[in-house]
Structure 1
Amino acid sequence: MSLVEHLQELRRRVVISMLALLAGTVVGFVWYQSAPAGLLPLGEIIRGPYCNLPADLRADFTGDGECRLLATTPFEMFMLRLKVGFLAGIVMSSPIWLTQIWAFITPGLHRNEKRYTFSFVTLAVTLFVLGAMLAYFVLDKGLYVLMSIGSEVQVAALTGHEYYSFMLSLIVIFGVSFELPLVIVMLNLAGLLRYEHVRDKRRMISVGLFIFAAFITPGQDPFSMIALGAAMSLLVELAFQFCRIRDKKKSAQRPAWMDTDDESASGPIAAPEPVQASPRPVHADYFRDVL
């Protein structure tokens, strides 16, 4: 394909991804307040960790005992609903835009590498959802610890903007961080990363993951840091074990002679021998015959 054709292909993939994202955002925006039978509204699900706090830890602005967050600006509730719908749209449309990304890359790959398309999309979506679920669990369990500290002198009166921003950023950070093992597996499948490269560095990598978790988590609280660091360390170790098994299997299928260097393959080189022990003079008649 020419450069113009590549750009046209990229534009087509981007348009399809944006349309899928727009459709998912509309569904998420409607789902925020209205849900089909058997499902809770998305707003109720996201507000769950805050509403699970004991009543004495939450401020009651209406006097009816209902769990409500505080809005301080006229457009805050609309923008929060739009933000939640957009995040839900990213998650729901992820199979489509991940497929478009992979479809744009695969023409430059070998035939056997194209077979990983379905597995790549499935694992990417699964890992993101698992990260989002862990973030929700961490917030559900950790929010009580954070809000109960100093409850004798203060009460939690969170605004919707503060609470939703904290929760959505936590979900995105956990979901994206959970894609790291998939990146490691892809590098190994592409031949850019082997297990022997990281075999002796796994402890250092684990420490680096905890340091990364300490800086990337929005609240910088130890609870979410430990949860993210431990989960990433476990998933990265599983990815390394995949690399180890695949490299071992690949080495078993590779003939031993292909790893032999040139000197070993040629064998010992004997000492040079003269072509003739003593020179023999050329008779003058030889030149006469040649001419």
Structure 2
Amino acid sequence: MLKTARRSKESKDPEGRMPLGEHLRELRNRLMKAVLAILVVTVVAAFFQKEIFDFLLRPILSSVGCPDGASVAANGKPCAIIKTDTLLSPFTIALKVALMSGVLVATPVWLYQLWAFVAPGLHSHERKYAYVFVAVGAPLFLGGAWVAYEIIPQTAEIMLGFSPVNVQNQIALDAYLDLVTRMVIVFGLAFELPLFLVGLNFAGVFPGKRMLGWWRGMVLALTLFAAVATPGGDPLSMLLLAGPLCVLYFIAVGISIANDARRRRNNPDAALSDDEASDLDLTPEALGEVESVAPPRALPEQASGEHNDRRTNGYDDIT
């Protein structure tokens, strides 16, 4: 069995080419490893569900939580209590939280499995850029998730401010967790915008100067997006989302402009106009053909210095 495995590794194409059946089997193995990692982390998270619940409920309970079931907090502002609807709700919600934690914590594992499946089909420079994008994209997503977690208290206070007097607010636990999950995903993906713009620039789709010309429209679009993405719609929550997005946008524009300048320095034809042809250097040195061509091999009679009218196997030299 070891010899068979060794032969399979030696016969593997270094460029990652393989039949369709091999691709499907490798995809199946990668998916199984990713799912197994998620299941293992989910089982471990199930033993710490109390700590996870405390972490997720801390923002809303610290801001609008009701003391001892009262309808109004000590400062006179409306408050809320967290409730469940059915007998099975605590169990199903615990499973949902454990699974969500498993997917998030096992992200490095299933991202690596996805990368290991795609990487053999990429060139060396494409792999280098992919490493950089993954290394930068993960902190950006975590930054967006942190902003979403931090604005939950302000959002809860503003939304409960519309409650009538002497009305007890009850928030379903599963609905609250769904809201937190949506906010984390939306804010995390929104923080990936500069990485997406830089990727388009590196691919040659948009130059940096064109992106800079969009700054008025982009600032307005990011502000409108922040107003829609934040549930409360208050100015503080909008600024907490729109401000970092605008800063990241201008950082992406600066990186794109620097990349365009680097391309112009490395391009000898950058100063030419669109209707001007570049000079072609067809010398062997420019084309990389610097090796000398070996002279034709002489016939045995020619190599020995005999007369050219000698025949070999019935054929003369010309034949």
- TM-score when scaled to structure 1? 0.74
Partner residue of 2:47 out of 27, 30, 37:
30
Alignment of 1:152-231 (within 5 A): 152-217=165-230, 219=231, 221-223=233-235, 224-231=237-244
Name the structure 2 match of 1:272.
Answer: none
State the Cα distance separating 1:226 from its structure 2 match. 4.2
- Please name the residue that 1:53 is paired with: 63
Question: What is the distance in 2 between the residues matched to 1:111 and 1:98?
Answer: 19
Q: What is the Cα deviation at residue 117 of structure 1?
A: 4.3
Contact 2:81 2:169 in 1 (8 A): no
- Give the conservation status (yes or no) of the 8 Å contact 2:144–2:187: yes
Q: Show the counterpart of 2:54.
A: 44
- Between the two proteins, the alignment pairs up a number of residues equal to 253
> Which whole-Å CA distance do the structure 2 matches of 1:201 and 1:214 have between them?
20
Contact 2:81 2:171 in 1 (8 A): no
Runs of 5+ consecutive residues of structure 2 not aligned to the other structure: 1-16, 72-79, 280-319
Residues 1:147 and 2:160 are matched in the alignment = yes
**1:1-291 paired onto structure 2 within 5 Å:** 1=17, 2-33=19-50, 41-53=51-63, 59-60=69-70, 69-150=82-163, 152-217=165-230, 219=231, 221-223=233-235, 224-256=237-269, 259=272, 261=274, 263-265=276-278
Q: Report the equivalent of 1:270.
A: none
Identity percentage over the alignment? 28
Work out the CA distance in 2 between the residues paired with 1:7 and 1:189: 31
Q: Spell out, residue by residue over 1:157-215, the C-alpha distance to the aligned partner (whole angstroms, 9 max, x if none).
A: 21212222222221121122222222222333333343134221122123223333444
Q: Indicate conservation of the 8 Å contact 1:180/1:236, yes or no.
A: yes
Whether contact under 8 Å (2:137, 2:192) holds in the other structure is yes
* Secondary structure class of the residue paired with 2:84: coil
Higher helix share: 1
C-alpha displacement of 1:112: 1.8
Which residue identity lines up with residue 51 of structure 1 in the other structure? L
Residues 132-175 of structure 1 deviation map (CA, whole Å, 9 limit, x = unaligned): 11111000233223223446343332121222222222112112
Distance of 1:254 and 1:58 partners within structure 2: 71
Question: 2:143 is matched by which residue type in structure 1?
Answer: L
Q: Distance in 1 between matches of 2:201 and 2:254?
A: 11
> Given residue 15 of structure 1, which amino acid in structure 2 is its aligned partner?
M
C-alpha separation in 2, matches of 1:57 and 1:148: 17
Aligned partner of residue 154 in structure 1, secondary structure = coil
1:19 aligned partner, one-letter code: L
- Higher mean displacement: 170-179 or 191-200: 191-200
CA–CA distance in 2 between the matches of 1:245 and 1:58? 59
**Contiguous gaps of at least 5 residues in structure 1:** 34-40, 62-66, 267-291
**TM-score, length-scaled by structure 2:** 0.68
